[in-house]
Amino acid sequence: MPSLKRPLPVLIIGNGPVGLLLAYGLVKQDGDLTLTPVPVILVARHLRRLGVPKAHALSPRSLEICRQLNVPVHVLRSLPAHREDAQYVQFVTNLSGQNLGRLDYERMHADVLNYSPEMTHNVSQPDLEEILETLLLQDPTTQHLVDYRKGWTWTGYEERMDANGTTYCVSRVEDTYTGEETTVESLMIVGADGANSAVRNALGIKSEGEQTADVMMTIHFHADLRAVVGDRVGMLHWILDPEARGFIISYDLDCNHVLIHNVAPDDPLASFTPDKCMRIVRAAIGQDVPFDFECSMPWILTRKVARQYYRGDVVLAGDAAHQYPPTGGLGMNSGIGDAHNLVYKIAATYHAWADMPAMFASYEAERRPVAVRNSLQSVKNGKNIFAMLKALGTTSSDPAIARMEMERSLADPRKLAHLKALIQEQAEHFDNLNLHLGYIYYSAYQPKSASTYHPAYVRGARMPHAWVKSKQPVFNNLKAVDLSYMAGDLGQDKLQKWQYSTLDLVPAASYVLIHSGSWGKKALQLRMLLAAHRIPLVILEAGKDFEFVDKKAGKVWQDGFGLKHGAVLVRPDQHVEAVPGKDAVPQAIVDQVLLTLTI
């Protein structure tokens, strides 16, 4: 395995959620395993982030990842939109008008906690970025490991080799505002610099995908809409009024919203002045409510996935690697999954128990298929729902006439019944649990449904969740899961018992082997063999080091992995590496691990 001759930092371009989470995951390594944290240089083009809220849905998997990487999930949950305001999708003529249907939003109900210790929470992207940035800069254990350069633009790089034969990157960066130039040396470069990625363009990497004919206008405004919606609260309100057709995302029902307006084909973008945008917002609200217009921004319903995720010592993540329509809330969550996959692989390279080319190749092989599936689902969602909005048959370009056509259609019982049926057909759009939890690495698995999730006990799957309690200090001072937001649904008994997940058994910096006793000697052999390659391994015995809160659920979990005679080996990113049976040979497992980690 390689032995680094110089402890260069990792250079991350971009300070969105992906870049910030990756940086924090690298510098916040698990001290109990005596691994040196990985220093980072974080370069951001602008001094201040854009105020448009953008993405909002943090999936159960993203919150599991945040929890493992020491991001305080309870702080995220303290921010709006709170569950009581966000668990539905409403379909209305306008916010003050007729309600045509309601769907659940991302299954924000207690049953999800049988599959994950976390359920979806909605936080505006700028708020998430602020929390991650604060953690990165104010945590006394990580401050000295971060060189954060705001207001600097990455302009290019070259790879060099030192006298010891170790390759490294020399990047050119310039002050965005003065043009001052300097260079930065790094072990590698991570391009997390968004859809118009300078890093991707510098690598000459092309994307696959397509764009639809649907043009959207994001209109950001501030207003207190609580009294307007009354008991018809929801994370999303789909507006059928022809003048405002689209949907409102309420990041905070009391103040912060965007209207995603579906622009008519004959409506020129140049016509979207502030006055016109304000008229559209008024039409969407349906009554004269005070509001402040902030800004507007056009975009096209587009799907793009980079054909390659890396070249040499440079790798892409987040929107630099894939861009989806917002229909489904999969984009930011896919990027967070990218960061999670990279955290342990970059750390493995830094600590010399993996080769960089092998790590980047496995990253691309694992994450790119996830991006392709999610992008296709996002486009499918967008096409289906905007087709539904057009099903009212309004054809006039005159808003008043088109509104009369809509009202005539809604007064027709047959057309109204058809519309309500179309609304119910959109349920999959707003329930992506299987896409969030069910993806399987090393596999050609193609989910039949975005929604229906069945825990998988196979190599490549995210290790299934079950509630556990510790008989030993195995959780590394990790705080209990905060389910206080579900107190009214769960009851005191479950609040006290549901505190830790099987996922909490996996530190972010080590492999974990879980067995039930019969694999004890082989577990020790495996640890010794892995140690020869500098690969850390934590060994846990079910029933001794931890217990299952629910015996029935525990039996399902143990039987799924065949723990009576076997074991399960889990990677630092909580995905299953191997499910060795009774006759498995430790050396064969090591060989399998090395296939991923080295060339």
Angle at 138 between CA 136 and CA 140, to 5 degrees: 100
How would you class 88 by CB atoms within 10 Å of its CB: exposed for 0-12, middle for 13-18, buried for 19 or more?
Answer: middle
40-44 and 146-150 strand pairing: parallel
Residues 6+ apart with CB under 8 A from 335: 16, 17, 18, 192, 317, 318, 319, 322
Contact 228, 285 (CB under 8 A): yes
What residue segments make up the domains of the chain, in order of their start?
A: 10-78+123-207+304-378, 461-597
Q: Write the CATH number of the domain with boundaries 10-78+123-207+304-378.
A: 3.50.50.60
Q: Write the CATH number of the domain with boundaries 461-597.
A: 3.40.30.120
Q: State which amino acid sits at residue 188.
A: M
Backbone conformation region of residue 165, classed left if phi is above 0, alpha if psi is from -120 to 50, else beta: left
Say how far apart CA 457 and CA 288 lie, in whole Å. Answer: 55
Say how far apart CA 22 and CA 536 lie, in whole Å. Answer: 21
pLDDT of the residue at 2: 39
For 151, how many CA atoms within 13 A lie in the half-sphere containing its CB? 7
Say how far apart CA 262 and CA 259 lie, in whole Å. Answer: 9
Q: How many CB atoms lie within 10 A of CB 32?
A: 13
56: closest CA among 249, 293, 238, 220? 249
pLDDT of the residue at 212: 72
115: closest CA among 501, 385, 450, 439? 501
pLDDT in tens, the chain (599 residues): 334 345 789 999 999 999 999 999 999 875 445 467 999 999 999 998 877 778 899 999 999 999 999 999 999 999 999 999 999 999 999 999 999 999 999 999 999 999 999 999 999 999 999 999 999 999 888 888 999 999 999 999 999 988 888 899 999 999 999 999 999 999 999 999 999 999 999 999 999 998 777 788 999 999 999 999 999 999 999 999 989 999 999 999 999 999 999 898 888 999 999 999 999 999 999 999 999 999 999 988 889 999 999 999 999 999 999 998 888 889 999 999 999 999 999 999 998 889 999 999 999 999 999 999 999 999 889 888 877 877 776 666 778 888 898 999 999 999 999 999 999 999 999 999 999 999 999 887 788 899 999 999 999 999 999 999 986 677 777 889 999 999 999 999 999 999 999 999 999 999 999 999 999 999 999 999 999 999 999 999 999 999 999 999 999 999 999 999 999 999 999 999 999 999 999 999 999 999 888 86
Q: Is residue 206 classed as helix, strand or coil in its secondary structure? A: coil
27: closest CA among 35, 66, 134, 170? 35
pLDDT of the residue at 31: 47
With the C-alpha atoms ordered 490, 496, 502, 503, is the resulting torsion angle positive or negative?
positive
Say how far apart CA 22 and CA 29 lie, in whole Å. Answer: 12
Q: What are the start-end ranges of the H helices in 3-55?
A: 17-27
